[in-house]
Structure 1
Amino acid sequence: MKFYLAILILFFSQLPFGQKIDREIFDETLGSKKAQTYSMLEESFEKFLNLNYPDEKSLSKKMKRYLLDIHDQNFNWIFDNNLSSITLQQLESSGLRKDIMLYKNETYEERFPFEDYIEEKKPSTDKSEEIELNEYFEDIIEVPPTSRKEERRLRKEEFKRQKIRDKFPQPNKHGLFYYALAKSKKDNEDILAYLAGITKYGIRPSPSLIAYGFIENLTEEEFIKWENKLLVIVEVYLSSLIYNDIMKKIACG
Protein backbone atom coordinates (compact mmCIF):
# COMPACT_ATOMS: atom_id res chain seq x y z
CA MET A 1 0.00 0.00 0.00
CA LYS A 2 2.79 2.38 0.93
CA PHE A 3 4.49 1.56 -2.36
CA TYR A 4 1.45 2.61 -4.44
CA LEU A 5 0.98 5.72 -2.31
CA ALA A 6 4.59 6.68 -2.95
CA ILE A 7 4.09 6.16 -6.70
CA LEU A 8 1.00 8.42 -6.67
CA ILE A 9 2.80 11.14 -4.74
CA LEU A 10 5.71 10.98 -7.16
CA PHE A 11 3.35 11.10 -10.16
CA PHE A 12 1.44 14.17 -8.99
CA SER A 13 4.59 15.93 -7.87
CA GLN A 14 5.96 15.60 -11.40
CA LEU A 15 2.87 16.93 -13.19
CA PRO A 16 3.78 20.65 -13.09
CA PHE A 17 7.17 19.86 -14.60
CA GLY A 18 6.07 17.37 -17.23
CA GLN A 19 2.91 19.15 -18.35
CA LYS A 20 2.76 22.89 -17.75
CA ILE A 21 -0.61 24.53 -17.38
CA ASP A 22 -1.57 27.24 -19.85
CA ARG A 23 -1.09 30.20 -17.49
CA GLU A 24 2.44 29.02 -16.71
CA ILE A 25 3.21 28.91 -20.44
CA PHE A 26 1.81 32.43 -20.83
CA ASP A 27 3.91 33.78 -17.96
CA GLU A 28 7.09 32.02 -19.07
CA THR A 29 6.70 33.30 -22.62
CA LEU A 30 6.28 36.86 -21.37
CA GLY A 31 9.25 36.58 -19.03
CA SER A 32 9.21 37.10 -15.28
CA LYS A 33 9.23 40.92 -15.29
CA LYS A 34 6.39 41.32 -17.78
CA ALA A 35 4.42 38.45 -16.26
CA GLN A 36 4.64 40.19 -12.90
CA THR A 37 3.49 43.42 -14.51
CA TYR A 38 0.48 41.70 -16.03
CA SER A 39 -0.35 40.23 -12.62
CA MET A 40 -0.27 43.78 -11.24
CA LEU A 41 -2.67 44.83 -14.00
CA GLU A 42 -4.98 41.97 -12.98
CA GLU A 43 -4.83 43.10 -9.35
CA SER A 44 -5.54 46.67 -10.41
CA PHE A 45 -8.61 45.49 -12.32
CA GLU A 46 -9.92 43.53 -9.35
CA LYS A 47 -9.44 46.55 -7.07
CA PHE A 48 -11.36 48.60 -9.63
CA LEU A 49 -14.22 46.08 -9.48
CA ASN A 50 -14.18 46.14 -5.68
CA LEU A 51 -14.34 49.92 -5.72
CA ASN A 52 -17.29 50.06 -8.12
CA TYR A 53 -19.27 47.01 -7.03
CA PRO A 54 -18.69 46.72 -3.26
CA ASP A 55 -22.07 45.09 -2.63
CA GLU A 56 -21.26 42.04 -4.73
CA LYS A 57 -19.57 39.27 -2.77
CA SER A 58 -17.70 37.33 -5.45
CA LEU A 59 -15.39 38.34 -8.29
CA SER A 60 -17.64 36.60 -10.81
CA LYS A 61 -20.65 38.66 -9.65
CA LYS A 62 -18.63 41.87 -9.87
CA MET A 63 -17.54 40.90 -13.38
CA LYS A 64 -21.13 40.29 -14.39
CA ARG A 65 -22.17 43.73 -13.13
CA TYR A 66 -19.26 45.29 -15.00
CA LEU A 67 -20.21 43.51 -18.23
CA LEU A 68 -23.86 44.51 -17.84
CA ASP A 69 -22.82 48.14 -17.38
CA ILE A 70 -20.71 47.95 -20.54
CA HIS A 71 -23.59 46.36 -22.43
CA ASP A 72 -25.98 49.07 -21.22
CA GLN A 73 -23.38 51.79 -21.89
CA ASN A 74 -23.41 52.82 -18.27
CA PHE A 75 -19.84 54.09 -17.89
CA ASN A 76 -20.15 55.99 -14.61
CA TRP A 77 -17.24 54.21 -13.00
CA ILE A 78 -14.95 55.45 -10.25
CA PHE A 79 -11.21 55.21 -10.86
CA ASP A 80 -8.50 55.33 -8.23
CA ASN A 81 -6.25 57.91 -9.89
CA ASN A 82 -3.19 56.91 -7.91
CA LEU A 83 -3.64 53.22 -8.72
CA SER A 84 -4.29 54.02 -12.38
CA SER A 85 -1.12 56.09 -12.58
CA ILE A 86 1.02 53.42 -10.92
CA THR A 87 -0.43 50.73 -13.19
CA LEU A 88 0.28 52.69 -16.38
CA GLN A 89 3.79 53.57 -15.20
CA GLN A 90 4.55 49.92 -14.51
CA LEU A 91 3.27 48.91 -17.94
CA GLU A 92 5.60 51.48 -19.52
CA SER A 93 8.71 50.71 -17.47
CA SER A 94 8.40 46.94 -18.00
CA GLY A 95 7.83 47.32 -21.74
CA LEU A 96 4.59 45.34 -21.56
CA ARG A 97 2.45 48.17 -22.91
CA LYS A 98 4.41 48.10 -26.18
CA ASP A 99 3.84 44.34 -26.36
CA ILE A 100 0.10 45.06 -26.28
CA MET A 101 -0.40 48.45 -27.94
CA LEU A 102 1.70 50.91 -29.92
CA TYR A 103 1.30 54.65 -30.18
CA LYS A 104 1.55 56.32 -33.56
CA ASN A 105 5.08 56.30 -35.00
CA GLU A 106 6.34 53.79 -32.40
CA THR A 107 8.39 50.91 -33.77
CA TYR A 108 8.55 47.28 -32.65
CA GLU A 109 11.37 45.16 -34.01
CA GLU A 110 10.57 41.76 -32.51
CA ARG A 111 8.74 39.12 -34.53
CA PHE A 112 7.21 35.86 -33.33
CA PRO A 113 5.95 32.76 -35.19
CA PHE A 114 2.21 33.34 -34.79
CA GLU A 115 1.65 31.01 -37.74
CA ASP A 116 2.54 28.08 -35.47
CA TYR A 117 -0.75 28.62 -33.63
CA ILE A 118 -3.03 30.76 -35.80
CA GLU A 119 -4.17 29.34 -39.12
CA GLU A 120 -4.10 31.48 -42.24
CA LYS A 121 -7.63 31.97 -43.54
CA LYS A 122 -8.24 33.31 -47.01
CA PRO A 123 -10.59 36.30 -47.16
CA SER A 124 -14.03 35.58 -48.58
CA THR A 125 -14.57 36.33 -52.27
CA ASP A 126 -18.33 35.99 -52.08
CA LYS A 127 -19.83 38.56 -54.47
CA SER A 128 -22.98 38.82 -52.39
CA GLU A 129 -20.92 40.32 -49.56
CA GLU A 130 -19.57 43.00 -51.90
CA ILE A 131 -23.10 43.84 -53.04
CA GLU A 132 -24.33 44.12 -49.47
CA LEU A 133 -21.44 46.43 -48.59
CA ASN A 134 -22.00 48.60 -51.66
CA GLU A 135 -25.70 48.90 -50.89
CA TYR A 136 -24.88 49.82 -47.32
CA PHE A 137 -22.53 52.60 -48.37
CA GLU A 138 -25.03 53.89 -50.91
CA ASP A 139 -27.52 54.23 -48.09
CA ILE A 140 -25.22 56.42 -46.02
CA ILE A 141 -23.69 58.56 -48.76
CA GLU A 142 -26.58 61.03 -48.81
CA VAL A 143 -26.18 63.38 -45.87
CA PRO A 144 -29.01 65.77 -45.07
CA PRO A 145 -28.06 69.42 -45.57
CA THR A 146 -27.08 71.37 -42.46
CA SER A 147 -26.62 75.04 -41.68
CA ARG A 148 -23.11 76.49 -41.75
CA LYS A 149 -23.22 76.95 -37.98
CA GLU A 150 -24.20 73.32 -37.47
CA GLU A 151 -21.59 72.21 -39.97
CA ARG A 152 -18.86 74.09 -38.07
CA ARG A 153 -20.01 72.49 -34.82
CA LEU A 154 -19.93 69.00 -36.34
CA ARG A 155 -16.48 69.60 -37.80
CA LYS A 156 -15.21 70.82 -34.45
CA GLU A 157 -16.56 67.74 -32.69
CA GLU A 158 -15.08 65.44 -35.31
CA PHE A 159 -11.74 67.22 -34.98
CA LYS A 160 -11.78 66.55 -31.23
CA ARG A 161 -12.65 62.89 -31.76
CA GLN A 162 -9.92 62.53 -34.38
CA LYS A 163 -7.42 64.14 -32.02
CA ILE A 164 -8.21 61.50 -29.40
CA ARG A 165 -8.10 58.68 -31.98
CA ASP A 166 -4.69 59.86 -33.18
CA LYS A 167 -3.36 59.79 -29.64
CA PHE A 168 -4.83 56.39 -28.75
CA PRO A 169 -2.52 53.39 -29.21
CA GLN A 170 -3.47 50.59 -31.58
CA PRO A 171 -3.02 46.83 -31.08
CA ASN A 172 0.51 45.63 -31.71
CA LYS A 173 -0.16 42.78 -34.13
CA HIS A 174 3.42 41.56 -33.69
CA GLY A 175 3.36 41.85 -29.90
CA LEU A 176 4.86 39.35 -27.49
CA PHE A 177 1.74 39.59 -25.32
CA TYR A 178 -0.48 38.19 -28.06
CA TYR A 179 2.09 35.57 -29.00
CA ALA A 180 2.23 34.39 -25.37
CA LEU A 181 -1.57 34.14 -25.36
CA ALA A 182 -1.60 32.18 -28.64
CA LYS A 183 1.08 29.81 -27.39
CA SER A 184 -0.68 29.16 -24.09
CA LYS A 185 -4.21 28.82 -25.51
CA LYS A 186 -3.44 27.07 -28.80
CA ASP A 187 -6.48 24.77 -28.43
CA ASN A 188 -8.98 27.51 -27.58
CA GLU A 189 -10.80 28.42 -30.81
CA ASP A 190 -12.42 31.55 -29.38
CA ILE A 191 -9.12 32.98 -28.18
CA LEU A 192 -7.42 32.10 -31.47
CA ALA A 193 -10.22 33.82 -33.41
CA TYR A 194 -9.72 36.94 -31.28
CA LEU A 195 -5.97 36.76 -31.88
CA ALA A 196 -6.45 36.31 -35.63
CA GLY A 197 -8.44 39.54 -35.70
CA ILE A 198 -5.69 41.37 -33.81
CA THR A 199 -2.59 39.95 -35.48
CA LYS A 200 -3.79 39.63 -39.08
CA TYR A 201 -6.23 42.49 -39.50
CA GLY A 202 -5.66 44.82 -36.55
CA ILE A 203 -9.33 44.47 -35.62
CA ARG A 204 -10.30 44.86 -31.97
CA PRO A 205 -13.68 43.77 -30.65
CA SER A 206 -15.71 46.63 -29.22
CA PRO A 207 -16.43 46.65 -25.47
CA SER A 208 -20.16 46.22 -26.12
CA LEU A 209 -19.50 43.21 -28.37
CA ILE A 210 -17.28 41.64 -25.71
CA ALA A 211 -19.90 42.22 -23.02
CA TYR A 212 -22.67 40.76 -25.17
CA GLY A 213 -20.59 37.71 -26.07
CA PHE A 214 -19.70 37.03 -22.45
CA ILE A 215 -23.21 37.52 -21.09
CA GLU A 216 -24.83 35.38 -23.78
CA ASN A 217 -22.29 32.56 -24.01
CA LEU A 218 -20.39 32.21 -20.73
CA THR A 219 -21.32 31.31 -17.19
CA GLU A 220 -20.39 33.58 -14.29
CA GLU A 221 -17.60 31.21 -13.31
CA GLU A 222 -16.23 31.32 -16.85
CA PHE A 223 -16.08 35.12 -16.67
CA ILE A 224 -13.14 34.88 -14.28
CA LYS A 225 -11.10 32.24 -16.11
CA TRP A 226 -7.78 33.95 -16.64
CA GLU A 227 -7.94 34.02 -20.45
CA ASN A 228 -11.47 35.46 -20.48
CA LYS A 229 -10.61 38.00 -17.81
CA LEU A 230 -7.53 38.94 -19.86
CA LEU A 231 -9.66 39.88 -22.84
CA VAL A 232 -11.83 42.19 -20.72
CA ILE A 233 -8.80 43.67 -18.95
CA VAL A 234 -6.95 44.52 -22.16
CA GLU A 235 -9.84 45.57 -24.38
CA VAL A 236 -11.93 47.44 -21.82
CA TYR A 237 -10.19 48.19 -18.52
CA LEU A 238 -6.73 49.03 -19.85
CA SER A 239 -8.25 51.01 -22.70
CA SER A 240 -10.23 52.99 -20.11
CA LEU A 241 -7.08 53.78 -18.15
CA ILE A 242 -5.27 54.96 -21.28
CA TYR A 243 -8.27 56.97 -22.47
CA ASN A 244 -8.54 58.73 -19.09
CA ASP A 245 -4.83 59.49 -19.18
CA ILE A 246 -5.07 60.95 -22.70
CA MET A 247 -8.04 63.13 -21.72
CA LYS A 248 -6.14 64.48 -18.71
CA LYS A 249 -3.17 65.39 -20.90
CA ILE A 250 -5.44 67.09 -23.45
CA ALA A 251 -7.14 69.06 -20.67
CA CYS A 252 -3.78 70.13 -19.24
CA GLY A 253 -2.35 70.93 -22.65
Structure 2
Amino acid sequence: MNISVVVLAKNNEKTIDKTLKSLVGFDDVVVYDNGSTDKTMQIAKSFSNVNLVQGEFKGFGWTKNQASSFAKNDWILVIDSDEVVDSELLGELKNKVLDEKIVYKLNFKAFYKDIQVKYCGWNNQKIKRLYNKTITSYNSNDVHEDIIIDGLKIEELKGNVEHYSYHTISEFIIKADRYSTLFAQNNMGKKSSSPTKAFFNGMYSFIRTYIFKQGFRDGYVGLIISYSHMVTNFYKYIKLYELNKENKR
Protein backbone atom coordinates (compact mmCIF):
# COMPACT_ATOMS: atom_id res chain seq x y z
CA MET A 1 0.00 0.00 0.00
CA ASN A 2 1.20 3.53 -0.74
CA ILE A 3 0.00 4.65 2.70
CA SER A 4 2.19 5.42 5.69
CA VAL A 5 0.66 5.07 9.14
CA VAL A 6 1.62 7.61 11.80
CA VAL A 7 1.22 6.67 15.48
CA LEU A 8 1.94 9.06 18.36
CA ALA A 9 2.99 7.22 21.51
CA LYS A 10 3.88 7.87 25.12
CA ASN A 11 3.68 5.18 27.80
CA ASN A 12 1.19 3.05 25.87
CA GLU A 13 2.54 -0.41 26.68
CA LYS A 14 -1.00 -1.61 27.52
CA THR A 15 -2.38 -0.91 24.05
CA ILE A 16 0.29 -0.35 21.42
CA ASP A 17 0.97 -4.04 20.75
CA LYS A 18 -2.66 -4.54 19.73
CA THR A 19 -2.48 -1.38 17.62
CA LEU A 20 0.66 -2.40 15.75
CA LYS A 21 -0.59 -5.95 15.16
CA SER A 22 -3.55 -4.45 13.30
CA LEU A 23 -1.10 -2.49 11.10
CA VAL A 24 1.21 -5.32 9.97
CA GLY A 25 -0.25 -5.04 6.46
CA PHE A 26 1.40 -1.63 6.01
CA ASP A 27 5.02 -1.36 4.89
CA ASP A 28 5.69 1.94 6.66
CA VAL A 29 4.48 2.63 10.20
CA VAL A 30 6.02 5.65 11.91
CA VAL A 31 5.82 5.43 15.70
CA TYR A 32 6.66 8.88 17.07
CA ASP A 33 7.50 8.47 20.74
CA ASN A 34 7.58 11.55 22.92
CA GLY A 35 9.09 10.41 26.18
CA SER A 36 7.97 6.89 27.05
CA THR A 37 9.43 5.43 30.22
CA ASP A 38 7.64 2.07 30.01
CA LYS A 39 7.98 -0.73 27.41
CA THR A 40 6.31 1.21 24.56
CA MET A 41 9.49 1.65 22.50
CA GLN A 42 10.62 -1.92 23.16
CA ILE A 43 7.29 -3.21 21.82
CA ALA A 44 7.47 -0.90 18.78
CA LYS A 45 10.96 -2.14 17.91
CA SER A 46 9.68 -5.72 17.75
CA PHE A 47 7.70 -4.93 14.58
CA SER A 48 9.76 -5.03 11.38
CA ASN A 49 7.56 -2.49 9.55
CA VAL A 50 7.92 0.15 12.28
CA ASN A 51 10.18 3.18 12.00
CA LEU A 52 10.60 4.34 15.61
CA VAL A 53 11.27 8.05 15.95
CA GLN A 54 11.87 9.88 19.23
CA GLY A 55 10.90 13.53 19.39
CA GLU A 56 9.27 16.22 21.47
CA PHE A 57 5.58 17.00 21.96
CA LYS A 58 4.42 20.55 21.16
CA GLY A 59 0.66 20.03 21.11
CA PHE A 60 -1.23 17.49 19.02
CA GLY A 61 -1.44 19.47 15.76
CA TRP A 62 2.26 20.32 15.55
CA THR A 63 3.34 16.88 16.72
CA LYS A 64 1.22 14.99 14.18
CA ASN A 65 2.66 17.13 11.37
CA GLN A 66 6.18 16.57 12.69
CA ALA A 67 5.64 12.79 12.89
CA SER A 68 4.22 12.76 9.34
CA SER A 69 7.43 14.33 8.03
CA PHE A 70 9.20 11.00 8.70
CA ALA A 71 6.72 9.02 6.55
CA LYS A 72 7.98 7.47 3.31
CA ASN A 73 4.65 7.88 1.49
CA ASP A 74 2.59 10.97 0.70
CA TRP A 75 -0.62 9.38 1.96
CA ILE A 76 -0.81 9.59 5.75
CA LEU A 77 -3.13 7.52 7.94
CA VAL A 78 -3.12 8.71 11.57
CA ILE A 79 -3.90 6.01 14.13
CA ASP A 80 -3.55 6.55 17.87
CA SER A 81 -1.60 4.10 20.01
CA ASP A 82 -4.82 2.88 21.65
CA GLU A 83 -6.70 2.24 18.40
CA VAL A 84 -7.14 -0.87 16.25
CA VAL A 85 -7.90 -1.01 12.51
CA ASP A 86 -10.46 -3.73 11.81
CA SER A 87 -10.26 -6.16 8.87
CA GLU A 88 -12.98 -4.40 6.84
CA LEU A 89 -11.17 -1.06 6.97
CA LEU A 90 -7.85 -2.74 6.17
CA GLY A 91 -9.40 -4.31 3.07
CA GLU A 92 -10.87 -0.97 2.04
CA LEU A 93 -7.50 0.74 2.36
CA LYS A 94 -5.80 -1.97 0.30
CA ASN A 95 -8.28 -1.73 -2.59
CA LYS A 96 -9.30 1.94 -2.57
CA VAL A 97 -8.05 4.22 -5.33
CA LEU A 98 -7.30 7.37 -3.35
CA ASP A 99 -7.95 10.87 -4.66
CA GLU A 100 -5.52 13.52 -3.40
CA LYS A 101 -8.32 16.13 -3.47
CA ILE A 102 -10.24 14.12 -0.86
CA VAL A 103 -9.67 13.85 2.88
CA TYR A 104 -11.01 10.54 4.15
CA LYS A 105 -12.80 10.04 7.44
CA LEU A 106 -13.17 6.82 9.40
CA ASN A 107 -15.87 5.39 11.65
CA PHE A 108 -14.89 4.90 15.30
CA LYS A 109 -16.20 2.42 17.85
CA ALA A 110 -15.33 3.35 21.42
CA PHE A 111 -14.49 1.03 24.32
CA TYR A 112 -13.87 1.37 28.05
CA LYS A 113 -11.70 -1.62 28.94
CA ASP A 114 -13.38 -4.19 26.65
CA ILE A 115 -16.90 -2.74 27.08
CA GLN A 116 -18.24 -1.03 23.98
CA VAL A 117 -19.64 2.43 24.68
CA LYS A 118 -22.80 2.71 22.60
CA TYR A 119 -24.02 6.13 23.75
CA CYS A 120 -22.50 9.25 25.38
CA GLY A 121 -21.81 10.58 21.87
CA TRP A 122 -18.80 8.26 21.65
CA ASN A 123 -20.04 5.56 19.28
CA ASN A 124 -19.83 5.79 15.47
CA GLN A 125 -17.98 9.09 15.44
CA LYS A 126 -16.72 10.06 12.00
CA ILE A 127 -13.19 11.51 12.19
CA LYS A 128 -10.88 12.68 9.40
CA ARG A 129 -7.69 10.61 9.53
CA LEU A 130 -6.40 9.94 5.99
CA TYR A 131 -4.90 12.67 3.80
CA ASN A 132 -2.18 13.45 1.27
CA LYS A 133 0.59 15.42 2.97
CA THR A 134 1.58 17.18 -0.28
CA ILE A 135 -1.90 18.75 -0.35
CA THR A 136 -2.82 19.41 3.28
CA SER A 137 -1.84 18.84 6.92
CA TYR A 138 -3.14 19.21 10.46
CA ASN A 139 -3.81 22.65 11.87
CA SER A 140 -1.60 23.86 14.72
CA ASN A 141 -4.13 23.42 17.54
CA ASP A 142 -2.68 21.97 20.73
CA VAL A 143 -5.96 20.11 21.33
CA HIS A 144 -8.96 19.42 19.08
CA GLU A 145 -6.55 19.35 16.16
CA ASP A 146 -8.02 18.65 12.74
CA ILE A 147 -6.98 18.13 9.12
CA ILE A 148 -7.31 21.31 7.06
CA ILE A 149 -9.88 20.79 4.29
CA ASP A 150 -9.88 24.15 2.46
CA GLY A 151 -11.08 23.39 -1.08
CA LEU A 152 -11.04 19.64 -0.48
CA LYS A 153 -13.84 17.08 -0.38
CA ILE A 154 -14.55 14.59 2.42
CA GLU A 155 -15.40 10.92 1.96
CA GLU A 156 -16.08 8.17 4.51
CA LEU A 157 -14.38 4.79 4.15
CA LYS A 158 -15.94 1.43 4.98
CA GLY A 159 -14.84 -0.37 8.13
CA ASN A 160 -14.02 0.76 11.64
CA VAL A 161 -11.34 1.88 14.04
CA GLU A 162 -11.79 0.42 17.52
CA HIS A 163 -10.74 2.92 20.17
CA TYR A 164 -9.59 1.49 23.51
CA SER A 165 -8.89 4.84 25.13
CA TYR A 166 -9.43 4.10 28.82
CA HIS A 167 -8.65 1.08 31.00
CA THR A 168 -8.98 2.57 34.48
CA ILE A 169 -10.86 5.45 36.09
CA SER A 170 -7.49 6.97 36.98
CA GLU A 171 -6.79 7.42 33.27
CA PHE A 172 -9.89 9.64 32.97
CA ILE A 173 -8.47 11.84 35.75
CA ILE A 174 -5.01 12.06 34.17
CA LYS A 175 -6.39 12.95 30.72
CA ALA A 176 -8.81 15.51 32.18
CA ASP A 177 -5.86 17.32 33.76
CA ARG A 178 -3.69 17.08 30.64
CA TYR A 179 -6.33 18.17 28.13
CA SER A 180 -7.67 21.01 30.28
CA THR A 181 -4.14 22.39 30.69
CA LEU A 182 -3.48 22.27 26.94
CA PHE A 183 -6.82 23.98 26.25
CA ALA A 184 -6.10 26.78 28.72
CA GLN A 185 -2.58 27.35 27.39
CA ASN A 186 -3.80 27.34 23.78
CA ASN A 187 -6.58 29.87 24.47
CA MET A 188 -4.90 32.21 26.96
CA GLY A 189 -5.58 35.78 25.88
CA LYS A 190 -7.84 34.59 23.05
CA LYS A 191 -10.96 33.54 24.98
CA SER A 192 -12.51 34.99 28.11
CA SER A 193 -13.54 32.87 31.08
CA SER A 194 -14.85 33.15 34.62
CA PRO A 195 -15.66 30.87 37.58
CA THR A 196 -19.34 31.11 36.62
CA LYS A 197 -18.61 30.07 33.04
CA ALA A 198 -16.49 27.16 34.27
CA PHE A 199 -19.24 25.97 36.63
CA PHE A 200 -22.10 26.10 34.13
CA ASN A 201 -20.01 24.73 31.27
CA GLY A 202 -19.14 21.73 33.42
CA MET A 203 -22.74 21.18 34.51
CA TYR A 204 -24.04 21.44 30.96
CA SER A 205 -21.43 18.92 29.78
CA PHE A 206 -22.70 16.37 32.28
CA ILE A 207 -26.37 16.91 31.36
CA ARG A 208 -25.66 16.81 27.64
CA THR A 209 -23.65 13.57 27.86
CA TYR A 210 -25.70 11.69 30.46
CA ILE A 211 -29.21 12.83 29.45
CA PHE A 212 -29.30 14.24 25.91
CA LYS A 213 -26.76 11.73 24.52
CA GLN A 214 -28.29 8.94 26.66
CA GLY A 215 -25.13 8.10 28.57
CA PHE A 216 -27.34 6.57 31.25
CA ARG A 217 -27.99 3.69 28.84
CA ASP A 218 -24.31 2.71 29.10
CA GLY A 219 -24.74 1.98 32.81
CA TYR A 220 -21.93 2.82 35.19
CA VAL A 221 -19.56 3.42 32.26
CA GLY A 222 -21.87 6.15 31.00
CA LEU A 223 -21.77 7.78 34.43
CA ILE A 224 -17.97 7.71 34.49
CA ILE A 225 -17.76 9.28 31.04
CA SER A 226 -20.38 11.95 31.76
CA TYR A 227 -18.72 12.95 35.02
CA SER A 228 -15.33 13.03 33.31
CA HIS A 229 -16.71 15.39 30.66
CA MET A 230 -18.03 17.63 33.41
CA VAL A 231 -14.71 17.70 35.27
CA THR A 232 -12.68 18.27 32.10
CA ASN A 233 -14.80 21.20 30.96
CA PHE A 234 -14.85 22.78 34.42
CA TYR A 235 -11.05 22.64 34.64
CA LYS A 236 -10.62 23.85 31.05
CA TYR A 237 -12.36 27.13 31.82
CA ILE A 238 -11.20 27.62 35.40
CA LYS A 239 -7.57 27.10 34.30
CA LEU A 240 -8.14 29.53 31.42
CA TYR A 241 -9.58 32.08 33.86
CA GLU A 242 -6.53 31.72 36.10
CA LEU A 243 -4.05 31.99 33.22
CA ASN A 244 -5.80 35.09 31.83
CA LYS A 245 -5.60 36.75 35.25
CA GLU A 246 -1.91 35.93 35.58
CA ASN A 247 -1.22 37.08 32.02
CA LYS A 248 -2.76 40.52 32.70
CA ARG A 249 -0.39 41.02 35.61
Q: Is TM > 0.5 for Structure 1 vs Structure 2?
A: no
Between Structure 1 and Structure 2, the one with more strand by share is: 2
Larger Rg: 1
In the superposition, the TM-score normalised over structure 2's length comes to 0.24
Greater helix content:
1
User: TM-score, normalised to structure 1's length?
Assistant: 0.24
